[in-house]
Amino acid sequence: MAESFFLPVFYAFAASFCFGILFNIRGGRLWAAAACGALSWTVYLMSGQWLSSVIARNLAAMVAVSVCAEVMARLFKTPVSTFLVLGLIPLVPGAGMYDTMERMLSGDLSGAVSVGLTTLGVAAALGFGIVMVSSFSRIVTAALRKKRVDKRQEV
């Protein structure tokens, strides 16, 4: 059981790490961004105990990665996209896209539509997770700035 959990998480970390090298991310940022990739796959696997839908599992994983990316961006004073893109790498529905095209080319149009709609749902869930956390983060940041400005004006 532990082997079936830790190896995929390690592979997600390694894949994110290698993409980080390709994107020319250096130092501690690279390790932190790769950890976001490992977190994404960890949450995806663990949420399988509670969520049966692949789309819901991807949404949960993307929300966790988006929160991680927002926190890391503030800690490292780096754009959020540095951590967000590498955290997204393990969740990209590449197998679904491949399977959709394979079914389409083999003439199984109903199977292609089914798998294609699931893949589209996963992609939409990933985007929605990013937008949801990013919007919440901006609202909180704006409220904190306003509070600081109001406090300075009182003095």
**Counting Cβ atoms within 10 Å, is residue 57 exposed (0-12), middle (13-18) or buried (19+)?**
buried
Q: How high does pLDDT run on average in the chain? A: 92
DSSP 2-29: HHHHHHHHHHHHHHHHHHHHHTT--HHH
> Is a pLDDT exceeding 80 seen at residue 96?
yes
CA atoms of 62 and 153, how far apart (whole Å): 39
CA atoms of 146 and 125, how far apart (whole Å): 31
Confidence category of residue 30, pLDDT binned at 50, 70, 90: very high
Confidence category of residue 1, pLDDT binned at 50, 70, 90: low
CA atoms of 54 and 88, how far apart (whole Å): 15
H helices of 23-108, in order, are 27-47, 54-76, 80-88, 94-105
Residue 41 · residue 9 · CB < 8 Å: yes
> Is a pLDDT exceeding 60 seen at residue 73?
yes
CA atoms of 69 and 62, how far apart (whole Å): 10
More confident residue, 81 or 146: 81
pLDDT of 99-154, one tens digit each?
999 999 999 999 999 999 999 999 999 999 999 999 999 999 888 888 777 777 77
